[in-house]
């Protein structure tokens, strides 16, 4: 791990070394978001004239109003940037860094993104004199430090006034999030001539290479094809490099000579071949930061998916943590694969094995979050309310109860070709 110390004018430490630090409930002074209060964060591009460099505003009560016992506040962090070389496509790439930069602050914990963000400030950091405008100082310094080639000016607005947080979420933040998703939704793997590699995770999984396509985002869930493209434009020699597709060898498995060549080079020979739509035959490698793990359940002739937040048992007899230790590390493990949540409802999901028809079990919470898209995908292949055909922990976590349920609902996986 590279430790870079940047001088930022805040009363507590600021370094990458604080990144993994947790703020536990008993050490916490202030809390924002995480489902407890409305909260969101956004980076948006403005005209040069609309950004006053280094202007930091706190609109609403600061955290000292929570003294002495501490408490919760709504929060919106709106970072507005301007620059000759800035483009709207760069906004999500810069916005993702809010997560890293705030975690660099001693006694500050940031989880999630967009309007599911969650922030905690510790008691000792509050007592050291840390106030909300220091969030702005940290973001100001780091954004210019890391993106000086595209940003000339930065201003930060921090809202804690509940009405404003809610109103601006509707007016500014959500329309932006939706527009970004919609742009990506219109893209298919066939409609572009270039995919991207991402090597960001080689710092801890040295042979790992993500291939990022419009219909398969990075397994961390934070790097879409548009984000990889923007990362390349911002930093031409950086972690994301283009792979010109060329002729496709197998559209169902997702096999290209260009990808195999790139993976061989970038993994230093560790991986020879990757089929980007297959879990059984030369699947993509997994680093360690996957949002979900997909694994074959032989008894059901299908696959299960488990997300990081689910702490319970799965029908494979392993928890997420146990599966993660056999799936990660940058090696190919046929039958197991890390993936981003959005890939589950992609039309390219396990295309080589028959697609979403193989999906037999997932935690209830994940299923509910994806219900609408699962049903939409199910409809396309001839099943109404497909989400209800997928078992979850309320059905059971042992193979027998899962298979009994699948038989009862007539799940398609049971009558497909053997998966292995
Ligand atoms: Fe890049 Fe993949 Fe790591 Fe995400 S998981 S940062 S896409 S290498
Ligand atoms: Zn990773």
Q: Is 209 in the pocket of ligand 1 (CB under 6 A)?
A: no
Q: Is 395 in the pocket of ligand 1 (CB under 6 A)?
A: no
Q: Is 43 in the pocket of ligand 1 (CB under 6 A)?
A: no
Supply φ then ψ for residue 83, to 5 degrees.
-175, 150
Residue nearest to atom 3 of ligand 1 (CA): 201
* Nearest-atom index, ligand 1, CA of 221: 4
CATH architecture of 194-415: 3-Layer(aba) Sandwich (3.40)
Kindly report the number of other CB atoms within 10 A of residue 417's CB atom.
7
Q: How far apart are CA 249 and CA 272, in angstroms?
A: 15
First to last CA, the chain: 39
* Assigned token pair, 395: 């059905």
* DSSP track, 185-223: HT--STT-SEEEEE-GGGGTSTT--EEEBTTB--TTSS-
Q: How far is CA 36 from CA 13, 87, 198, in A?
A: 27, 34, 34
Q: Is the pLDDT of residue 2 over 60?
A: no
User: CATH classification of 16-185 is 3.30.1650.10, yes or no?
Assistant: yes
Q: Is the pLDDT of residue 220 over 70?
A: yes
Question: Exposed, middle or buried, 304 (CB in 10 Å: 0-12/13-18/19+)?
Answer: buried
Residue range 319-333: mean pLDDT, rounded: 92
Alpha helices in 122-236 (DSSP H): 123-127, 132-147, 162-168, 174-185, 225-234
pLDDT in tens, 86-111: 999 999 999 989 988 999 999 999 98
* pLDDT over 90 percentage in the chain: 86
The residues with which 241 forms a beta bridge, in sequence order, are: 197
- Distance, CA of 387 to chain centre: 22
Q: Is the pLDDT of residue 3 over 50?
A: no
SS3 292: strand
Q: Is the pLDDT of residue 150 over 60?
A: yes
Q: Indicate where the chain has its CATH 3.40.1470.10 domain(s).
A: 194-415
pLDDT in tens, 380-393: 999 999 999 999 99
Question: Exposed, middle or buried, 384 (CB in 10 Å: 0-12/13-18/19+)?
Answer: exposed
Quote the ipTM score: 0.99
pLDDT in tens, 30-57: 999 988 999 999 999 999 999 999 999 9
This prediction has a pTM of: 0.84
Q: Is the pLDDT of residue 6 over 70?
A: no
Q: Is the pLDDT of residue 348 over 90?
A: yes
- pLDDT for the residue numbered 353: 98
- pLDDT for the residue numbered 181: 84
Question: Exposed, middle or buried, 151 (CB in 10 Å: 0-12/13-18/19+)?
Answer: buried
Residue range 186-193: mean pLDDT, rounded: 94
Q: Is 220 in the pocket of ligand 1 (CB under 6 A)?
A: yes
Residue range 5-27: mean pLDDT, rounded: 87
Which residues, by Cβ under 5 Å, contact ligand 2, an ion? 201, 287, 289
Q: Is the pLDDT of residue 221 over 90?
A: no
- The shares of helix, strand and coil residues in the chain, as percent rounded to the nearest 5, are 40, 20, 40
How many A from CA of 223 to the centre of ligand 1?
A: 7
Q: How far apart are CA 104 and CA 173, in angstroms?
A: 24
What angle in degrees, to the nearest 10, is found between the helix axes of 225-234 and 91-103? 80
Of the bound ligands, which one is closest to the alpha carbon of residue 223? 1
* Assigned token pair, 296: 């074959």
- 207, 288, 289: which to mutate for ligand 1, most atoms within 8 A of CB? 289
Q: Is the pLDDT of residue 200 over 90?
A: no
Q: Is the pLDDT of residue 407 over 70?
A: yes
- Distance, CA of 389 to chain centre: 27
Q: How far apart are CA 409 and CA 135, in angstroms?
A: 52
Supply φ then ψ for residue 395, to 5 degrees.
-80, -45
Mean pLDDT score of the chain = 94
Q: How far is CA 182 from CA 34, 177, 192, in A?
A: 25, 9, 16
Q: How far apart are CA 395 and CA 364, in angstroms?
A: 10
Kindly report the number of other CB atoms within 10 A of residue 81's CB atom.
24
- pLDDT for the residue numbered 22: 87
Write b or e for each residue in 201-220: b if 16 or more Cβ atoms lie within 10 A of its Cβ, otherwise e.
Answer: bbeebebbbbbbbbbbbbbb
Contact 98, 41 (CB under 8 A): yes
The residues with which 121 forms a beta bridge, in sequence order, are: 30, 108
Q: How far apart are CA 243 and CA 246, in angstroms?
A: 9
Supply φ then ψ for residue 404, to 5 degrees.
-60, -45
* pLDDT over 70 percentage in the chain: 99
SS3 123: helix
Residue nearest to atom 7 of ligand 1 (CA): 218
Q: How far apart are CA 391 and CA 409, in angstroms?
A: 10
Supply φ then ψ for residue 80, to 5 degrees.
-110, 125
Of the bound ligands, which one is closest to the alpha carbon of residue 210? 1
- 195, 211, 219: which to mutate for ligand 1, most atoms within 8 A of CB? 219
Q: How far is CA 242 from CA 194, 228, 238, 275, in A?
A: 6, 9, 11, 17
pLDDT in tens, 116-144: 899 999 999 999 999 999 999 999 999 99
């Amino acid at each position: 791990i590279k430790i870079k110390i940047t001088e930022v004018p805040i009363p507590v430490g600021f370094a990458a070394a604080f990144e993994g630090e947790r703020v536990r409930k008993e050490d916490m002074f202030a809390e924002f978001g995480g489902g407890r209060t409305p909260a969101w964060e956004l980076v948006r591009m403005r005209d040069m004239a609309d950004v006053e460099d280094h202007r930091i505003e706190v609109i609403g009560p600061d955290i000292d109003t929570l003294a002495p016992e501490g408490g919760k506040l709504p929060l919106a962090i709106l970072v507005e940037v301007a620059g000759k070389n800035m483009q709207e496509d760069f906004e999500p790439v810069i916005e993702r860094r809010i997560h890293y930069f705030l975690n660099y602050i001693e006694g500050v914990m940031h989880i999630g993104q967009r309007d599911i963000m969650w922030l905690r400030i510790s008691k000792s950091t509050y007592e050291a004199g840390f106030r909300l405008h220091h969030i702005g100082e940290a973001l100001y310094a780091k954004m210019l430090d890391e993106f000086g080639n595209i940003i000339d000016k930065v201003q930060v607005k921090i809202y804690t006034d509940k009405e404003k947080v809610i109103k601006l979420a509707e007016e500014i933040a959500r329309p932006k999030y939706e527009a970004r998703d919609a742009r990506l939704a219109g893209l298919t793997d066939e409609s572009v001539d270039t995919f991207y590699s991402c090597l960001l995770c080689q710092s801890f999984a040295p042979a790992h290479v993500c291939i990022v396509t419009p219909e398969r985002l990075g397994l961390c869930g934070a790097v879409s094809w548009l984000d990889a493209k923007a990362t390349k434009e911002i930093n031409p020699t950086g972690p994301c490099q283009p792979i010109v597709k060329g002729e496709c060898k197998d559209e169902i498995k997702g096999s290209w000579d260009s990808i195999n060549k790139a993976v061989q080079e970038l993994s230093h020979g560790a991986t020879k071949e990757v089929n980007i739509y297959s879990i059984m035959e030369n699947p993509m490698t997994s680093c360690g930061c996957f949002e979900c793990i997909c694994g074959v359940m032989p008894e059901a002739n299908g696959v299960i998916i488990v997300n990081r937040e689910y702490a319970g048992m799965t029908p494979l007899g392993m928890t997420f943590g146990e599966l993660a230790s056999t799936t990660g590390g940058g090696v190919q493990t046929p039958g197991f694969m890390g993936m981003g949540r959005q890939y589950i409802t992609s039309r390219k999901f396990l295309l080589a094995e028959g697609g979403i028809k193989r999906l037999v079990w997932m935690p209830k919470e994940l299923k509910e979050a994806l219900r609408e898209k699962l049903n939409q995908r199910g409809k396309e292949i001839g099943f109404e309310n497909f989400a209800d055909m997928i078992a979850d922990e309320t059905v059971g976590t042992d193979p027998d109860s899962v298979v009994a349920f699948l038989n009862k609902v007539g799940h398609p996986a049971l009558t497909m070709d053997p998966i292995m």
